[in-house]
Structure 1
Amino acid sequence: MITVIAAVAENNALGKENQLLWHLPDDFKRFKTLTSGHYIIMGRKTFESFPKPLPNRTHVIISRQANYHPEGCIVVNSLEQAIEACPKTEEVFIIGGGEIYRQSIAVADKLDLTKVHATFEADTYFPEVDLSEWQLVFEEYHPKDERHDFAFTFQTYLRK
């Protein structure tokens, strides 16, 4: 199963200058819980936005740079090669960035989204999703609180 996982603002904003636009500890916790022990597919810039590789996950990085080989990671040239590098019997997570999300929506089986209830100025956006192709199977609202500057909703969609 191929799962696209992302935190997305109301205006589909994802990030700016290779950084997230918000800090939502419960979203980080959910991301870690869902992706731990799995293969995660990402673009090179997304990988480079991490201080170090994420623990307990196999990193598959899509890059056009011929000499790009971060230690302990699988590096490929395309989304197709990235998917091919992952086990067919396990859930695989696509974690960004914008261009990788754009390419992967067509092949994804599941969307695990955190909808951040605010709009942001950004340079990277999540692609428009035709929700008529997806069935909402889980939704959980979280209000703004002392640890979270914005209200947000966890949403899981399965392809119809």
Structure 2
Amino acid sequence: MITIVAAAAENNALGKDNDLIWHLPDDFKRFKQITTGHHIIMGRKTFESFPKPLPNRTHVIITRQENYKAPEDCLVVGSLEEAISICPKEEDIFIIGGGEIYSQSMKIADKIELTRVFATFEADAFFPEIHLEEWKLTNEEFHPKDEKHAFDFSYQTYVRA
């Protein structure tokens, strides 16, 4: 199964200047729980936004740069198709960004695990529109803002219709 994992604002904002716009600790915990032990596919800029590779995950980095130097244990490929082809067929694969990789993935993904942040932000990276004729919302869990979370948000699970 190919699953897209993302956090996007109401205007589909993902980030600005290769960084997240909000800080939602519970979303980070959920992301870790969903992706740990799996292959995670991302674009080069998304990978470079991490201080270091995320523990207990196999990083598959998509880049057009020839001879891109990635840390040991990270896989580097030139396309989304190549990224998927080098992942184990019997395991779940997670696509974690950024905007361009998400757009390419919408045609082939089976599931979307989206954290919808209930605010709008200025951004330079955006999540693609979720077309409800192609996707069905199967689960939603609302979380009101609190002392650790500045915004209301919901975990939303979509499966291909």
- Quickly name the TM-score band, shorter chain normalised: over 0.9
Aligned equivalent of 2:47: 47
Normalised by the length of structure 1, the TM-score is 0.98
**What RMSD, in angstroms, separates the aligned Cα atoms of the two structures?**
0.6
Structure 2 Cα separation of the partners of residues 101 and 142 of structure 1: 24
Please report how far the alpha carbon of residue 3 of structure 1 lies from its aligned counterpart in structure 2 after TM superposition: 0.3
- Distance in 2 (alpha carbons) for counterparts of 1:131 and 1:63: 30
Pair 1:84 & 2:85 matched: yes
Which residue of 2 is the match for residue 20 of structure 1?
20
Q: In the alignment, which residue of structure 2 is the partner of 1:98? A: 99
42-51 vs 61-70, greater mean Cα deviation: 61-70
Alignment of 1:110-121 (within 5 A): 110-121=111-122
2:62 maps to 1:65: no
Task: Give 1:131 deviation, angstroms.
Answer: 1.6
Q: 1:105-129 CA deviation, whole Å, 9 max, x = no partner?
A: 0000000000000000000001112
TM-fit CA distance, 1:64:
0.8
Q: Deviation at 1:86?
A: 0.5
Distance, in Å, in 2 between the alignment partners of 1:72 and 1:134 is: 34
Give the structure 2 partner of residue 75 of structure 1: 76
Does residue 131 in structure 1 map to residue 132 in structure 2? yes
Quote the offset at 1:133 in angstroms: 1.1
Residue 134 of structure 1, CA deviation: 1.2
Q: What residue ranges of structure 2 are gaps of 5+ in the alignment? A: none
Count of aligned pairs: 160
Q: Which runs of 5+ in 1 are unaligned?
A: none
The answer on 1:33 being equivalent to 2:33 is yes
C-alpha offsets along residues 124-154 of structure 1, whole Å, 9 cap, x if unaligned? 0011121221121111000000000000000
What amino acid is the match of 1:4?
Answer: I
The TM-score, its normalising length taken from structure 2, stands at: 0.98
Identity %: 71
Give the residue type in structure 2 aligned to 1:147.
Answer: K
Q: Does residue 11 of structure 2 align to residue 6 of structure 1? A: no
Structure 2 Cα separation of the partners of residues 14 and 21 of structure 1: 7
Mapped partners of 1:105, 1:134: distance in 2: 10
3-state SS of 1:120 partner? coil
Displacement of 1:69? 2.8
